[in-house]
Amino acid sequence: MRWSSVEIGSPVVQNTAELSPRTEALRVPLPAIAAAAVASDRPAPDPEALIWAEVNLDALAANVRVLRSHVRPRVRLVAVVKANAYGHGAVPVATTALEAGADGLAVGRLDEAVELRNAGITAPILVMGPVPPSGARRCVALRLTPTVHNLTMAQALAHAARTAGRVLPVHVKVDTGMHRFGLLTDEAVAFTSVVAAIAGLSVEGLYTHFATADADNLTATRQQLADFLDVVGRLRAAGIAPAVLHAANSAATLALPAAHLDQVRVGAALYGLHTTAARDAAGVQLNGERWHASGAPSLASALRPVLTLKTRVIRLRHVPAGTPVSYGGTYHTPQATCLATLAAGYGDGLSVALSNRGAVLLGGQVFPIVGRVCMDQLVVDCRDGRGIQEGAAAVLIGQQGAAALSAEDVAAASDSTNYEVVTRLLARVPRFYHRSHAPTGALHPPNGATMPLPTPSPAPDAVVAAQAAI
């Protein structure tokens, strides 16, 4: 089998398979694509790789800078790198984000923070999920910032901090409508007051999470923000004033400046995954000028996808009309055609829901996935197969020539979300990282000391501004 670049594919021949509406739309005949555009699709860094992801760290750094310029200078930008940085690779992503201007990191679990510390990253790390009492000592030793949600956890953290002769900063999460994790608004003040009185702990931060910030109508999100600020006001009346208030996820960072407060937590936008707010944002302030959905570039167009997913053609075969394909024979070829088997399947993290609905790029054209997606392989109907060779690279997410399939396209075809599409990529898919230049310097010191939190602006100002803008 010879691994090589591919040539131009044949003109589109319509197929009568029942595919997703998005795939149907992508199947319309494409204009001729220059051979050079397709040939420029570089081979895998590992010539023996059958499936691989390419992570563009330059695009990641550019997204950080775009987001950094979208918030006020005093607002801290926290890069969310949980779940292996949404499948992109926690350590390379975290390092690049910090170099590009992120002020800190956020993870979902303790072991994710441990991985970052073991890699020498010393920037502030917020653990947004629960830390079990058995992890309290590691949390203190690694100078992490945990989220406390019950007294058992708080007491374990306090004991570990006192034993180490330290005061551990913690954050308290307020559940204003997500109904998933954190203290309800009617119990948050009493709980936070108790935690603030425990020796060894300092309530540094208070935060919430929005349930519908990516919706067209932000009424519910504004109500969540108002409820959160009400809790902040009641805490201040009780003499407790956390220095760092935060509420905005990616969608709210883009669409609701009132929610920026002292810091924002950006996940999806960091990776160029577009929320509804990003796609529909119009007239947002960016770098001192207004960007609009029509005319000038939108904020969404300024955010670049970071991950490309590729695989290889491992077999080509010409079959007659009526040939059943894959398990269960859920697809029968409507005419004589060429089938390409690709080395990608649900064992790599692709969704079985892409069966008879998804698409791939081959030779700069869009071809439908036919038959059931298997553990290690899937089949594509590539019409007459002209110009396609065994060993050719196929794109599952990304661009090839003038054609493109985004994570949003894949999500639409599989009734999923772009978050899930990239996060579910499994460990056996190697990640290759590329950037045009070496980093100019790290934002975190090399001696293992934790970078101190930048001093936020007075919290009351943030609250007053947010309340005025809701």
Q: How confident is the model at residue 44 (pLDDT cuts 50, 70, 90)?
A: low
Domain spanning 76-261+451-469, CATH architecture: Alpha-Beta Barrel (3.20)
Taking 70 as the threshold, does the pLDDT of residue 442 lie above it? Answer: no
- Whole-number Å distance between alpha carbons of 306 and 85: 11
Phi, psi of 104 (to 5 degrees): -170, 180
- Whole-number Å distance between alpha carbons of 117 and 142: 7
Q: How confident is the model at residue 284 (pLDDT cuts 50, 70, 90)?
A: very low
Task: Give the tens place of pLDDT for each residue, 299-314.
Answer: 767 899 999 999 999 9
Token digits of residue 27: 């199947």
Average pLDDT, the chain: 84
- Whole-number Å distance between alpha carbons of 378 and 414: 15
Token digits of residue 67: 């987001």
Beta strands in 57-196 (DSSP E): 76-80, 104-107, 125-127, 145-148, 168-175, 183-184
- Whole-number Å distance between alpha carbons of 196 and 55: 42
Name the CATH superfamily, with its identifier, for domain 21-55+306-434. Lyase, Ornithine Decarboxylase; Chain A, domain 1 (2.40.37.10)
Sign, CA torsion 70/72/73/76: negative
Between 90-100 and 57-70, two packed helices, what is the crossing angle to 10 degrees?
Answer: 50
Cα maximum dimension of the chain? 78
Token digits of residue 388: 């396609």
Look at strands 393-400 and 307-319 and give their pairing.
antiparallel
Query: How confident is the model at residue 307, as a pLDDT?
Result: 97
327 catalytic? Reply is yes
82 catalytic? Reply is yes
The residue to which tokens 């690279």 are assigned: 393
Per annotation, catalytic residue among 82, 86, 310, 346 = 82
The residue to which tokens 């991950």 are assigned: 307
3-state secondary structure of 416: coil
Per annotation, catalytic residue among 86, 173, 207, 327 = 327
Taking 50 as the threshold, does the pLDDT of residue 326 lie above it? Answer: yes
Ordered by start, the domain boundaries in the chain are: 21-55+306-434, 76-261+451-469
Q: How far are the Cα atoms of 113, 153, 156, 201, 447 from residue 149, in angstroms, in the given order?
A: 18, 7, 12, 13, 32
Higher per-residue pLDDT: 143 or 32: 143
Token digits of residue 414: 């599989």
Task: Give the tens place of pLDDT for each residue, 113-149.
Answer: 999 999 999 999 999 999 999 999 999 999 999 999 9
Query: How confident is the model at residue 42, as a pLDDT?
Result: 54
Question: Which range, of 35-39, 263-267, 369-373, averages the lowest pLDDT?
Answer: 35-39
Among candidate residues 393, 366, 385, 276, the one with its CA nearest the CA of residue 20? 366
- Whole-number Å distance between alpha carbons of 332 and 287: 53
Sign, CA torsion 107/102/437/304: positive
Mean pLDDT of 250-254: 94
Contacts with 182 (C-beta within 8 Å, 6 or more apart), sequence order: 147, 149, 172, 173, 174, 175, 188, 208, 209
Mean pLDDT of 433-462: 47
Token digits of residue 95: 């390092």
Q: Please check whether residue 252 is in contact with residue 214, taking contact to mean a CB–CB distance below 8 angstroms.
A: no
**Residues facing 313 on adjacent strands:** 342
Task: Give the tens place of pLDDT for each residue, 167-194.
Answer: 999 999 999 999 999 999 999 999 999 9
